[in-house]
Structure 1
Amino acid sequence: MSEGTMQRADHRDQPDQRAKRLNRVLVCAAAVPVVLLAAGCSLVSDSEDAGSKSSAGNETKASASPSPTVQAAAYQELPKSCSVLSKKTLGDLVPKGVKSGKEGASDDTASRASCSWNSLDNNGVAGSQFRWLNVSLLRFDSDVSRGSGDEQAQAYYEKQVQDAKAVAGAKNTKSAPVAGTGDQATLVQYDLKKKEGAFKQQTIVARVENVVVTVDYNGAGLAGENTPDAGTLKKAAEKAAKEAVAAVTSANDSGSDSGSATASPSKSASKKS
C-alpha cells in the first residue's frame, strides 16, 4: 500500500474512533441524571414520610385533648313559688292574707320564681298590724363559661346578703348566720322608716346546692298600733326560710343528674347572660 493510501485510511479510522468515544461520553452523561433523579425521589419520599408522621402525631394529640366539662347542677327544677309554704306557716306570718299569694312574673319558672303575700289586721281606731312576705327562688345551671351551678349560686348568695345590708335608709342593721337552713344561710335585720310607719325588716338569704332562696318579711304597726317585736318576726322568717329550702329539695327528689355539662350553654344560663 502506498503512503498516500495509508494516510487516507488513517483519516477514515479517526472519525470512527471519535464517534465511539463520543457515544461513551453521552452514555455516561445520560446515566448521571438517572442517579440524581433516583436520589431526589428518595429524599422527597423520606420528607413526605416524616411530614405524614408528624401530622399524624399532631392529630393524635389533638384528638386526645379532652373537651371542657363542668359538674352538672344538682337541682333541675323549682317548686311552685306560691306553694312553698304551708297554710299553717302562712297563717302565722300573714294571718289576714293567707290567700293573697301573688306569683311573680317569670319567663322561665324552672329557673326563677317568686310569690308575695300581704296581711292587714285592721283594729279600727286602735290602728292595724301590717305584714308583708315575699319568697324568691333562683336556680343556676352549670355552664363551662360561667362555672358550676353551685359556684354561681354561691356568688349570687353573697351578693344578695351584701345588698340586704346596704338598703338605703336602713337603721340598726345587723346580720347573723342561720343554722339548719340549706348549705348556708344569713339573716339580715334592720329598721326602715316609711311614711306609713316604722317597719321591722327580716331578710334571710339561703343557698341549697345551685338554688338561692330569699325570704323577705317585714311588719309594722300602723295608725297608732305598736311596732311588732323584731324577735317574733325573726323566728317567723327563719321558719319560712327552712320550709322554702325543704320545698326545693322535695321538688327534686325524683333524682338529680350527677353527670357533666358540656361546652354548650344551657337555655336558662343563656337567658341570664
Structure 2
Amino acid sequence: MHRSASRLTRILACAAVPVMLVVAGCSSDGSGDSGGAPDKAGRSSSGSPEAKKTPTVAPARFAELPDPCDAVAAKTIGDLVPEVKSKSGTAGKSTDTASRGSCSWNGLEDKGVDGSQYRWLDVSLLRYDSDATLAVSGEQRAEDSYAKEVAKAKATEGAKGVKTAAAAGVGDEATTVTYTLNKTDEDFVYATVVTRTENGVVTLTYNGTGYAGAKNPSVTDMAKGAVRAAKEAVAAVAAANEEPAAKESPEASAEAAAGE
C-alpha cells in the first residue's frame, strides 16, 4: 500500500506540469503583452484615440470697410447726380459697420422748359469673415453673396427689359444688370453693378428719369456711370485695408512697386 501511494503521488505531480505551462503560456499570450492588440479600426487598445483635427480655412483678405459715403469720389457724385441734395450723402443704418454699410445720393436738375432730370445713386458694402467651424473662407461666403445679389437685381419686381452683362475691370468678378421700372407714372432707367472683391461684395445702383417732357437717360449712359462709381467703391474697400504707411504715401508705394 505504501509503495502504491508513493507511485500515485509521482504520477499526479508529473501530470500537473504541462497544465501549469499551458496556463502560463495563455497568460503570456494575452494580458502579458504590454503593447496592446490593434482593434478593427487599427487603433491600439492601450492608446488614447486621436484628437479631432480642426479644419483650416484661408483668413479673410479684408478686415474692415470704408465709410460708404466716402466710397465714391465727390467729383463722380457731382457728375452722376447733378444738383445733388447732399454732397456728403445719406448713410443707411447699420449695427455692424465693419461688416455692412450703405449710402445714397439724389438730385433733381431743373432745365426749365426742357423739363427736369432726376438721378439716384446708392452703394452697398458687405464684408465676410472666414468661418473655421464651417470650414468656409470669407471669399467663399462672398462668392455666395455675390450670386444672390445678382439674382436679386435680375428679379426686381416690375422690371422690364432686364439684361445682364459682365463688367470688365471691376473687382474679381462683376455683373451689370439693366432694366426699366415704372414709378410715379414715369419710366425709370436702372443700372446695377454687383461686384465681388476678395471677401467683400459691392452693389451699386444708379437710376434716373426725365420729368416734364425731358428725355429719359439711355441705358448705356446709366450703365457706364454705374461702372465708374463701382470701380471707385471697390478701390475704396482695398484702400481701407492698406497699411498706414501705404495710405499716407501712395506715391512711395507706386515707386517701390516699379523698382521691384
User: Quick one: which of 95, 99, 103 aligns to 2:91?
Assistant: 103
Aligned pair in 2 of structure 1 residues 224, 78: CA closer, same or farther (>3 Å)?
A: same
1:29, distance to aligned residue in structure 2 (A): 4.2
Q: Which residue of 1 aligns with 2:253?
A: none
* Structure 2, gaps ≥5 residues long: 245-260
- Deviation of 1:32 (Å): 4.3
Higher mean alpha-carbon deviation, 90-99 vs 176-185, is at: 90-99
In structure 2, C-alpha distance between the alignment counterparts of 1:218 and 1:186, rounded to whole Å: 16
Tell me, yes or no, if structure 1 residue 20 matches structure 2 residue 6.
yes
CA-based RMSD of the aligned residues comes to 3.0
Give unpaired runs (5+ residues) of structure 1: 1-14, 256-273
Q: Which has the higher contact order (CA 8 A, sep 6+)?
A: 1
The answer for the alignment partner of 1:134 in structure 2 is 122
Q: Find the aligned partners of 1:90 and 1:178 in 2 and give their Cα distance.
A: 20
Question: Which residue of 2 is the match for residue 120 of structure 1?
Answer: 108
Aligned partner letter, 2:155: A
Comparing 112-121 and 77-86, the one that deviates more: 112-121
Return closer, same or farther for 1:199/1:67 CA change in 2, 3 Å cut-off: same
Corresponding residue SS for 2:242: coil
For the residue of structure 2 that corresponds to 1:36, the secondary structure is helix
Aligned residues: 240
Report the Cα offset of residue 123 of structure 1: 5.5
Partner of 1:42: 28
Kindly report which structure 2 residues correspond to 1:1-273, keeping only aligned pairs within 5 A, or say none. Answer: 15-45=1-31, 49-51=35-37, 55-56=43-44, 62=50, 67-95=54-82, 96-99=84-87, 101-122=89-110, 127-144=115-132, 145=134, 147-254=136-243
Normalized against structure 2, the TM-score is what?
A: 0.79
Query: Percent identity of the aligned residues?
Result: 46
| 1:186 positional shift | 1.7
CA contact 1:196–1:222 (8 Å) conserved in 2: no
Aligned equivalents of 1:133, 1:146: Cα separation in 2: 37
Does the 8 A contact of 2:36 with 2:46 survive in 1?
Answer: no
Structure 2 CA distance for partners of 1:45 and 1:105, relative to 1, 3 Å? same
Where 2:66 maps in the other structure, the secondary structure is: coil
Structure 2 vs 1, CA of residues 200 and 251 (structure 1 numbering), >3 Å: closer, same or farther?
A: same
Hey, what does 1:268 align to over in structure 2?
none
Indicate the structure with greater helix content: 1
TM-score if structure 1 supplies the norm length? 0.75
Cα distance change on mapping 1:58 and 1:99 into 2, 3 Å = farther
Task: Give me the whole-angstrom Cα distance separating, in 2, the residues matched to 1:93 and 1:242.
Answer: 14
